[in-house]
Amino acid sequence: MKILGLDLGNRTLGMAISDYLEIIANPIGTFRFEEQDLGAALQETLRVIKENDVKKVVLGLPKNMDGSIGFQAEYCLKFKKMLEEAMPIEVIMVDERLTSKIANSTMIFADISREKRKKNVDKLAASVILQSYLDRRK
């Protein structure tokens, strides 16, 4: 079964997908949309789910550093509800604190240019979110 990992922002949706054995998360892309256009993000997510026969979604939940839920986390919870209403699929929320920092640090270590880091940070953050979920289950 494949699992889709998502890193939702105000204008971007980073995506990663697991292999069939649910061991490795692979970044697959970043979808860009108009500011807070969750409808567009939802349509792209549904397309990816159908094309890849995804059975479960892992969505990053951006909690504040003190563990509280802020505006961005509420935004992600709204997207979760929209996705569950659009199709019968399990959506698991995973704490995503520092995933973008981890993704950026990884790319800096790999000596990737600032321009390329900016283009790839969202899909790599989605991969970190999904991989953390996969690792925790094993």
Rounded (10°) angle between helices 71-86 and 38-52: 50
Residues 56-102 have pLDDT tens digits of: 999 999 887 787 888 889 999 999 999 999 999 999 999 876 565 56
Alpha helices in the chain (DSSP H): 38-52, 71-86, 99-109, 114-137
Residue 10 belongs to domain with CATH number: 3.30.420.140
In the chain, how many domains are there? Answer: 1
pLDDT given at position 22: 95
Q: How far, in Å, CA of 61 to CA of 78, rounded?
A: 11
Mean pLDDT of 99-106: 60
Structural domain boundaries enclosing 32: 2-137
